[in-house]
Amino acid sequence: MSKKNRNIVVAVIILAGLLSIMIFSNSKSDFVRQLQGPIEGTDSVITVDGRLSIVSKENHIYTWQWKELTLWPVVAKPQSQALAPIAGDKVIYDASAGIGKLIITNLKADKELASLSLPYGAECKKIKTSSNGKFGVVSMLLKDGAQKDWLKLAIFNSDLKDLLFIFQKDTKAEDFSLYDFVITDDGKLLAGAGKKGKAWIFVTDIKNEKILWERTFDEYDQFTFLAFSPDGRTLYVTEKVRYIIALDSATGNTIRVYEIPIYATPSNQKENVSCIAISPDGKILAADTEPACDVWYWDLNTGKKIASFQASEFTVSDIAFSPDSKYLATGCLVTPEIKIWKVPQPK
């Protein structure tokens, strides 16, 4: 080989090495830091009021300030069936042991600030709050009394002055499953999704206490997760396997369908969307697909995929954006890992 050719080969090798370093560096640069979450694993990841809240599988809550993730979290371990963070550095949870009461406390859950009794025989199933923490929804199943076996959804605000029952159905008289529900930041709309024969979804006008629209989709088996856009005009719902549908909140008309490709899975596992989140600036949709543990990003303006990455070696249970939309937190179902990632921006 001539000296000239050797120089060309050496130059190519050096260039290839530099490119590999750059690619590797870029792939690693999305990861920012890892936090120590609950040892039993994470159930949900929530951003409210500038705080990052991690709810464990045992209904304990770990709270960081997004601007101070290097500090230790505030940890609360109330005895409860369900809990959620709300605005004003507070937590709401149901008192367990059959007391039938919602309680608002400080972040440590060692100071009761307000409480409200649930209906006789009611068992709290889930509590969810709006992304600004000012409004919330509690689901309950009546285990006793004249309305035994009725499923109810009730609205509350962060002061917990009263409960407004906006959804009530007899589970024995109607064949349906409600898997998720969500409320807009202005407290005007409530959406619910699940299965009624096929995939089922509805939106309720809270002020007028009436259903705006209700739809079933024959092409999907069931809907599993919901998220409103920050302005409440668009509702995103996940089909169980790999589709995310964007709907007009006022009419229920389909705006766009986002698709995660089919990929090979172990014989004992099936592809599924485990969670979704909308960035606070309304620009990005994020979703995790299992068992790949991959998080996907889409540009909500164009509908095009921005990027995807593997967030964990184990099941990703939930995700949440930072208040400035620049970072994403991912939780793990079976380990304490809480990872913070830099979010790629639409071009």
Give the domain CATH number at 126: 2.120.10.30
Q: Are the CB atoms for 43 and 317 separated by under 8 Å?
A: yes
**At 22, phi and psi to the nearest 5?**
-65, -45
Structural domain that includes position 154: 78-174
Residue 192 to residue 201: CA distance in whole angstroms:
6
- What is the reported pLDDT for 99? 73
347 residues of the chain, pLDDT tens digit each: 555 455 554 444 444 443 333 333 344 449 999 999 999 999 999 999 999 999 999 999 999 999 999 999 999 999 999 999 999 999 999 987 667 899 999 999 999 999 999 999 999 999 999 999 999 999 999 999 899 999 999 999 999 999 999 999 999 999 999 999 999 999 999 999 999 999 999 999 999 999 999 999 999 999 999 999 999 999 999 999 999 999 999 999 999 999 999 999 999 999 999 999 999 999 999 999 999 999 999 999 999 999 999 999 999 999 999 999 999 999 999 999 999 999 998 88
Q: Are the CB atoms for 331 and 295 separated by under 8 Å?
A: no
Q: Is residue 165 assigned to a domain? A: yes
Q: Is residue 155 assigned to a domain? A: yes
Which ranges of the chain would DSSP assign to H, the alpha helix?
3-29
Q: Is residue 12 assigned to a domain? A: no
Side chain identity, residue 124: C
Which ranges of 112-175 would DSSP assign to H, the alpha helix?
none
Q: Sign of dihedral through CA atoms 203, 288, 62, 126?
A: positive
Q: Is residue 67 assigned to a domain? A: no
- What is the reported pLDDT for 97? 61
Q: Is residue 162 assigned to a domain? A: yes
Q: Is residue 103 assigned to a domain? A: yes
- What is the reported pLDDT for 18? 37
Q: Is residue 336 assigned to a domain? A: no
Q: Is residue 222 assigned to a domain? A: no
Residue 338 CB partners (closer than 8 Å, separation 6+) = 34, 35, 36, 37, 42, 45, 54, 329, 330, 331, 332
Contacts of range 64-68, beta carbons closer than 8 Å, 24 or more positions apart: 64/35, 66/322, 66/323, 66/327
Residue 260 to residue 275: CA distance in whole angstroms:
13
Q: Are the CB atoms for 208 and 238 separated by under 8 Å?
A: no
Contacts of range 103-107, beta carbons closer than 8 Å, 24 or more positions apart: 103/78, 104/158, 104/160, 105/76, 105/78, 107/61, 107/63, 107/74, 107/76
- What is the reported pLDDT for 27? 41
- What is the reported pLDDT for 2? 58
Domain count of the chain? 1
- What is the reported pLDDT for 28? 42
Q: Are the CB atoms for 80 and 95 separated by under 8 Å?
A: yes
Residue 41 to residue 39: CA distance in whole angstroms:
5
Question: pTM of this prediction?
Answer: 0.90
Q: In what order do the strands lie in the sheet with 42-48?
A: 42-48, 51-56, 61-65, 74-76
- What is the reported pLDDT for 29? 46
Q: Are the CB atoms for 101 and 81 separated by under 8 Å?
A: no
Q: Using alpha carbons, select from 211, 143, 221 the residue that is nearest to residue 179.
A: 221
Give the other-Cβ count within 10 Å of 84's Cβ: 22
